[in-house]
């Protein structure tokens, strides 16, 4: 006599499917052992390669940091040409060489900003622009500085609206950047020169409201007077 078949619970169905999947997987591995081993080996090679690359990049970045720290004394002393070229016969490698050899590292990207600044201080604005524009590091302060450097170049060429847009962009990279009020002020000044009075007023008002202890705040009232 046939008995009524017991209805499986959801848990039992799930366990049954899991067992089925397990045996199917085992069967596939047995039938395709060489292929599976090849995939595992390939994955292991990729993992090792990634670890090697990350370690290599880290060591390169560390090396660039050491070289950059050595040359910064020259930069801070205002010896910009020496900072760019370095000193032959010493361990002082110039900013230009650091950028050439380590430009893809974070410290190499930082060196681009100081190299661009050095060219700007020497009056070589085209070269400065090249390195400001090439910056692609992850540091917000340097990213803003790169944009402001480009803005300064276009302001010197009389392209006031473009300069203003870049200064504004630099100001908006980070609201905690100590240079933000200065970037806002310079953006406003360039908007004034471009004839965009409302845009200039809006930026000057931010300085008035939010940056009362900044040097930009001490200057902003005279520009408001010019606008009225």
Half-sphere exposure of 66 (CA within 13 A, CB side): 7
Q: Where are the domains of the chain?
A: 23-138, 147-228
Q: What is the pLDDT of residues 201-216, one digit of tens each?
A: 999 999 999 999 999 9
Element (H, E) at 8: none
H-helix or E-strand spanning residue 164: helix 160-171
**CB within 8 A of 152, min separation 6: which ones?**
120, 163
Q: What is the pLDDT of residues 154-204, one digit of tens each?
A: 999 999 999 999 999 999 999 999 999 999 999 999 999 999 999 999 999
b/e string for 158-185 if b means 16 or more Cβ within 10 A?
A: ebbebbbbbbbbbbebeeebebbbbbbb
CATH architecture for residues 147-228: Alpha Horseshoe (1.25)
CB neighbour burial string for 100-119, b if at least 16 within 10 angstroms, e if fewer: ebbbebbbbbbbbbbbbbbb
At residue 42 the predicted structure's pLDDT band, cuts being 50, 70 and 90, is very low
Whole-number average pLDDT of the chain: 84
Paired residues of 86 in beta bridges:
93
């Amino acid at each position: 006599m046939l008995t009524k078949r017991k209805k499986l619970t959801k848990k039992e169905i799930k366990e049954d499917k899991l067992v089925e999947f397990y045996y199917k997987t085992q069967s596939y591995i047995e039938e395709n052992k060489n292929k599976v081993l090849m995939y595992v080996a390939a994955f292991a090679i990729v993992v090792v390669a990634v670890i090697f690359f990350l370690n290599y990049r880290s060591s390169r970045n560390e090396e660039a940091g050491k070289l950059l720290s050595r040359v910064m004394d020259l930069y801070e002393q205002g010896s910009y040409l020496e900072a760019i070229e370095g000193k032959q016969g010493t361990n002082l490698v110039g900013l230009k060489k650091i950028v050439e050899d380590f430009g893809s590292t974070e410290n190499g990207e930082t060196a681009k900003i100081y190299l661009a600044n050095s060219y700007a201080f020497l009056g070589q604005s085209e070269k400065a622009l090249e390195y400001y524009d090439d910056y692609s590091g992850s540091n917000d302060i340097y990213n803003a500085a790169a944009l402001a450097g480009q803005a300064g170049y276009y302001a010197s060429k009389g392209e006031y609206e473009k300069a203003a847009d870049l200064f504004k962009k630099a100001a908006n990279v980070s609201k905690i950047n100590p240079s933000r009020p200065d970037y806002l002020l310079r953006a406003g000044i360039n908007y004034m020169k471009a004839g965009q009075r409302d845009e200039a007023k809006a930026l000057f008002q931010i300085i008035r409201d939010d940056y009362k202890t900044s040097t930009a705040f001490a200057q902003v009232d005279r520009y408001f007077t010019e606008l009225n």
